[in-house]
Amino acid sequence: MKNLTPIHTSSSRPARLAALKQSFQDWNNTQDAITRLCRRLSTTLSLENQLTILADEMSGTIPFDALNYRNRIARQDFVFATGMGGPHRCEYRLTLEGLPYGTLTLHRRQRFSDDELAGIEMMLSGAICHIRNACQFLTIEQAALTDALTGIGNKRALDEALQRASAMSNRHGYAWSLILCDLDHFKQINDHHGHVVGDHILARTAEKLEQALRNSDTVYRFGGEEFAILLPHTNEQEAREVADRIRNALESIRVDGGEIPLTVTASCGVAMHLTEESSEQWLARADEALYRAKAGGRNCTRVFASIS
């Protein structure tokens, strides 16, 4: 029996390539709103850039006064806002395949018409796959900067934050302080009660640290039982007060250790950023202050004074 499957000869290839080229040119040159939106969104995986593009493309078809977007990505709130709000709004919870990808809200002085609402939904339908990809990319980025056990920033995240803080302090003269906090005799807990109990204490420590701080402060785990707290707009004395408050908060931790609940204490070293100081030098001074606290009997705070 003969094979009836069609065979593509070499003579048909130029026609297929020409059709492909024409299709690509049409896609690049088309001026319809959805295609243009998708074409622009496909050029970036930055969620902020994508929302900027979406706002730009949408405003050309459906005027609005403000666009707001909120999402919780990898334990962090992502917020994007442009424009000033009006009394009328329409809100959309963005989902794809049953998974949420944030909430987008448009505000305007005048009420949105039914045709405008339908147009917004069409544009969001064209954008949702790109927004999903950007959210997933941001999740992966955050995972690379997150300590798996405690959910707070890791050493890499701390290094990047210290570099940014140093640059801002040098440029604007802002006061930034760094606290290094080390749990006292933690190795004994792991040796006597096991790493499961030790890990539980570390997770509780991260929770207590976050609860004891302002929203603008950030916490990182950069060693086994060592944590760092970065404090913007904070001088030495204020940072010392924060460190003492942190130590008091950690003393309230109680973990089942058998007959007697396990408790922890901590030693803290404080250093304020100096003008034109590198992030490595800043970290080294805070580490020296922590060493003095541990050498001085532990469960105390020492400050590396900015003026000798």
Q: In this structure, is residue 190 part of a structural domain?
A: yes
Q: 248 by DSSP, 3-state: which? A: helix
pTM: 0.73
CA-to-CA distance for 304 and 307, rounded, in angstroms? Answer: 9
For the beta carbon of residue 131, count every other beta carbon within 10 angstroms. 22
Tell me which of 95, 122, 144 is where a domain ends: 144
Q: What value does the mean pLDDT of the chain take?
A: 90
Evaluate whether 142 touches 135 at the Cβ level (below 8 Å): no
Catalytic residue among 57, 225, 226, 277: 225
Indicate if 291 and 180 belong to the same structural domain.
yes
Q: In this structure, is residue 17 part of a structural domain?
A: no
Indicate if 248 and 295 belong to the same structural domain.
yes
Whether 141 is catalytic: no
Evaluate whether 262 touches 197 at the Cβ level (below 8 Å): yes
Q: What is the pLDDT of residues 201-237, one digit of tens each?
A: 999 999 999 999 998 999 999 888 999 999 999 999 9
Indicate if 173 and 270 belong to the same structural domain.
yes
Q: In this structure, is residue 10 part of a structural domain?
A: no
How many domains are there within the chain?
Answer: 2
Indicate if 299 and 160 belong to the same structural domain.
yes
Tell me, what's the pLDDT at 10? Answer: 58
Tell me which of 93, 119, 144 is where a domain ends: 144
Find the domain containing 185 and state its range. 155-304
Q: In this structure, is residue 18 part of a structural domain?
A: no
Average pLDDT over residues 42-68: 95
Q: What is the pLDDT of residues 63-85, one digit of tens each?
A: 999 999 999 987 788 999 999 88
Residues sharing a CB contact under 8 Å with residue 108, sequence separation 6 or more, in sequence order? 63, 64, 65, 66, 86, 88, 89
Q: In this structure, is residue 124 part of a structural domain?
A: yes
CA-to-CA distance for 301 and 254, rounded, in angstroms? Answer: 22
Q: Is the pLDDT of residue 29 over 80?
A: no
Q: Is the pLDDT of residue 1 over 50?
A: no
CA-to-CA distance for 235 and 246, rounded, in angstroms? Answer: 16
Indicate if 197 and 167 belong to the same structural domain.
yes
CA-to-CA distance for 12 and 251, rounded, in angstroms? Answer: 78
pLDDT class of 268 with cuts at 50, 70, 90 = very high
Tell me, what's the pLDDT at 5? Answer: 53
Indicate if 69 and 118 belong to the same structural domain.
yes
Cα Rg for the chain, rounded, in angstroms? 27
CATH code of the domain covering residue 219:
3.30.70.270
Tell me which of 85, 112, 144 is where a domain ends: 144
Indicate if 161 and 140 belong to the same structural domain.
no
